[in-house]
Amino acid sequence: MTAAFFNMNRSPWWWVPTLYFFEGIPYFLVNSISVLLFAKMGVPNDDLSFFTTLLYFPWFLKFLWSPFVEVFKTKRWWIITTQLVLAVLCVLLVITLPHPDATLIQTKGTSIEMFKFTLILFILSAFASATHDIAADGFYLLAHNQTSQAAFVGIRSTFYRIASVFSQGILVYIAGTIENQTENIPLSWQVTIAITAILLFFFGIYHYFVLPKCEDTPTTSDIDNSVIWKELCNSFISFFTKPGIVLAICFMLLYRLSEGFLVKLCPAFLVDARQTSIVNGQIFGGGLGMSTSVYGLLYGTIGVICLLTGGIMGGLVIAHKGLKRSIWGMALALTLPSFVYVYLSYFQPTSLWVIGSAIGFEQLGYGYGFTAYMMYMIHVSDGKYKTSHYAICTAFMALSMMIPGFIAGKIELTWGYNTFFWIANACSITTFIVTYYAYKQLK
């Protein structure tokens, strides 16, 4: 029986779903849950948006060290190691998470200085998670043949999406339930991250036994490093000398500009107090006063499901009509639904049906419109160095969210949520400008 357990590598069903479910959890913990955590801890929006935006950097830069993951050790080794490292980092987050005073939390007066070590642990988690992504995707290509890869591509995508709902919905709902019962916000997040740590540790041990030992690159002994670096340089040069590459970079940076502003402060807006107050010239409050558990239900679960549904719909439309014929409709779907936040900020409705419908509508449109962005990156990456060029495109994708994220909080504290959402939506003009030129470029 034990021997049979250790021989579970006979089918990708044993490891593909769990591998990609795992891949999603630390990503959403670092990039989504961290924003809500700091908002609930009373960190002002300018510090919140700036420092959580820094956490994108590992995904922006991961193409720089991806060759080392290819060369040193095996991808199986990288996967298991990073999974266990992520579990340890979550344990450290639990142990060291600060407990701000309740008054500071209520007045959003918590200094980001209190969370220095927390930010360091999040950054280390981001690097480990980005490295895990590199190894997992490479391992997927090695561990089974092309027929099997095609058969399981939908499975890996599905379980990554399930991880999105689990992380942003269920984990956040758990934090909210504990908060409601104990009225202790820091404790609620400590327990939630502790649950995450146990889950990550379990998957790390599980994958140690079930991941197949396929042919891989164990050391640099059989590899000519000069050839690797030459190919790496060639891939960079060939990318930046592609015809129309300046337009392509502009598209990748500006197509989602308005969404880059919105996504950074939507969690804070939904949970911030409804009453507006001005302290030292900065505007606090004016949100919807949503509890953490309701946030997990509406934004983390219903919103994410709508986002994924929009993505599936967009993929079907592009498969049927092609990118050129679909891109204008997707640009409109990306931009117009985001005006619901202007409505929400002005009228501050209390009905969860109204708020949930607005969130779902906006996320559905974003998921549908974002499909054009993903397909455009595939279009730009086409050629000899397809994998390397796509990695560079994903770096620009991360940068497109970082640029607005750095200044979003400062804008909101200066002018309030009403004006902030108008400014964010006004940036939609860039979406239509770059879409116009991309449409002319596409065949």
Q: Where are the alpha helices (DSSP H) in 223-303?
A: 225-240, 245-254, 257-271, 292-297
What is d(CA 428, CA 424) in angstroms, rounded to the nearest whole number?
7
pLDDT exceeds 70 at position 4: no
The pLDDT value given to residue 408:
93
Cβ(338)–Cβ(262) under 8 Å?
yes
| Residue 1 binned pLDDT confidence (cut-offs 50, 70, 90) | very low
| Residue 215 binned pLDDT confidence (cut-offs 50, 70, 90) | low
DSSP state of 256: T
Cβ(182)–Cβ(188) under 8 Å?
yes
Strands 277-279 and 282-284: antiparallel
**DSSP readout, 30-70?**
IIIIHHHHHHHTT--HHHHHHHHHHTTHHHHHHHHHHHHHH
| Residue 374 binned pLDDT confidence (cut-offs 50, 70, 90) | confident
Instruction: Summarize the confidence of residues 299-316 as an average pLDDT.
Output: 90
Q: What phi-psi label fits residue 406: left (phi over 0), alpha (psi between -120 and 50 degrees) or beta?
A: alpha
Instruction: Summarize the confidence of residues 186-197 as an average pLDDT.
Output: 96
What is d(CA 400, CA 314) in angstroms, rounded to the nearest whole number?
21
350: number of Cβ within 10 Å: 10
Phi, psi of 214 (to 5 degrees): -90, 170
Cβ(355)–Cβ(288) under 8 Å?
yes
The pLDDT value given to residue 150:
59
242: number of Cβ within 10 Å: 15
Query: Which is more confidently placed, 123 or 158?
Result: 123
pLDDT exceeds 50 at position 413: yes
Tokens of 166: 């689990």
For 93, the 3-state DSSP assignment is helix
Report helix angle 16-28 to 116-143, nearest 10: 160
The pLDDT value given to residue 434:
96
Longest dimension (CA), the chain: 69
Residue 135 burial (CB < 10 Å; 0-12/13-18/19+)? buried
pLDDT exceeds 90 at position 29: yes
The pLDDT value given to residue 7:
46
Cβ-proximal residues to 143 (8 Å cutoff; 6+ apart), any chain: 12, 15, 211, 212, 214
Instruction: Summarize the confidence of residues 65-78 as an average pLDDT.
Output: 80
Across 28-42, 85-99, 125-139, least confident range: 125-139
The predicted model scores a pTM of 0.86
CA 253, 255, 258, 264 dihedral sign is: negative
Residue the block writes with tokens 């860039």: 430
| Residue 217 binned pLDDT confidence (cut-offs 50, 70, 90) | low
Tokens of 307: 């986002």
**How far is the CA of 239 from the CAs of 67, 272, 393, in angstroms?**
17, 43, 10
Cβ-proximal residues to 121 (8 Å cutoff; 6+ apart), any chain: 89, 92, 93, 96
Q: Angle CA(425)–CA(426)–CA(428) in degrees, nearest 5?
A: 70
Instruction: Summarize the confidence of residues 341-347 as an average pLDDT.
Output: 95
The pLDDT value given to residue 14:
83
The pLDDT value given to residue 80:
94
Tokens of 239: 């990318």
For 212, the 3-state DSSP assignment is coil
| Residue 5 binned pLDDT confidence (cut-offs 50, 70, 90) | very low
Instruction: Summarize the confidence of residues 194-201 as an average pLDDT.
Output: 96
Share of residues in the chain with pLDDT > 90 (%): 58
Instruction: Summarize the confidence of residues 380-384 as an average pLDDT.
Output: 79
CA atoms within 13 A on the CB side of 121: 21
- Kindly calculate the radius of gyration of the chain based on its CA atoms and give it in whole angstroms: 22
End-to-end CA distance of the chain: 57
pLDDT exceeds 70 at position 343: yes
